[in-house]
């Protein structure tokens, strides 16, 4: 979350700076410095502001330590962010979509229903912090996975004719192109057999080949591609 996010949320809520400072337990002078970018938005302030102001989930704190994830929790997070496939889990978002996307892509194996949701996530929240996401994907050698998900998200954007979304996705893809890895990878399905790997080398899409991924996931078979 940036100071500008905080200020925009405050103005949208019709709060004066004095009222917001009081609710956040800050002085008005300090809040003014935060909103102007002269002081950082702490995690505690970001969490509090997200609860009381109508802020985008992309303004939630970004923290990722790596490790395995609970797939039930991942389903809940996607449902809270509005993914139609898990609409029955709809609620107030608790995790930044950029953090959620990285966490999912960092898994060795992931349920196919969750993998299918990732292009939607990148498309629906194209205003997420791509600099943070790309940088952290590179640290974990997940840029090829992210690049392919962005490629599919761009196809969703073309269907929706959302030029602003397309521009943001194109920019993030160009950042990933510069660091594309030559090593073969899967899209969160490392446990696939050698027979499956051999078949996919010959039958994967052109874009999957470009990103050196063994996957048959394509925008045409995304369950909620048009949602």
* pLDDT, tens only, 57-109: 888 888 887 888 899 999 999 999 999 999 898 888 888 999 999 999 999 99
Residue 189: which pLDDT band, with cuts at 50, 70 and 90?
A: very high
55-59, 123-127, 179-183: range with lowest mean pLDDT: 55-59
Q: What is the pLDDT of residue 190?
A: 97
Domain 3-55 fold: 434 Repressor (Amino-terminal Domain) (1.10.260)
Taking alpha carbons only, the member of 57, 47, 58 closest to residue 24 is 47
| pLDDT, average across residues 107-121 | 96
CA distance 200 to 216: 7
What per-residue confidence (pLDDT) applies to 225?
61
| Full-model pTM | 0.84
pLDDT at 227 over 60: no
Q: What's the pLDDT at 76?
A: 95
161 has a pLDDT exceeding 70 = no
- Domain borders along the chain are 3-55, 71-221
pLDDT confidence tier of residue 55, bands split at 50, 70 and 90: confident
């Amino acid at each position: 979350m940036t100071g500008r996010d905080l200020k925009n949320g405050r103005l949208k809520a019709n709060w004066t700076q004095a009222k917001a400072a009081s609710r956040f337990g800050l002085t008005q002078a300090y809040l003014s410095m935060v909103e102007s970018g002269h002081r950082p938005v702490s995690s505690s302030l970001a969490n509090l502001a997200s609860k009381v102001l109508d802020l985008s989930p992309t303004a939630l704190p970004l923290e990722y330590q790596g490790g395995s994830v609970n797939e039930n929790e991942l389903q809940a997070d996607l449902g809270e962010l509005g993914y139609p496939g898990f609409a029955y889990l709809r609620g107030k978002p608790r995790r930044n979509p950029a953090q959620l996307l990285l966490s999912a892509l960092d898994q060795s194996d992931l349920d196919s229903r969750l993998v299918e949701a990732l292009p939607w996530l990148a498309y629906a929240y194209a205003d997420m912090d791509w600099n943070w996401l790309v940088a952290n994907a590179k640290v974990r050698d997940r840029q090829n996975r992210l690049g392919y998900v962005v490629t599919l998200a761009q196809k969703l954007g073309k269907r929706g004719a959302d030029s602003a979304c397309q521009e943001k996705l194109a920019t993030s893809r160009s950042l990933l192109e510069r660091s594309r890895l030559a090593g073969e990878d899967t899209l969160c399905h490392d446990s696939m057999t050698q027979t499956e790997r051999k078949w996919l080398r010959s039958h994967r899409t052109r874009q999957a080949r470009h990103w050196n991924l063994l996957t048959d996931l394509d925008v045409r078979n995304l369950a909620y591609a048009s949602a």
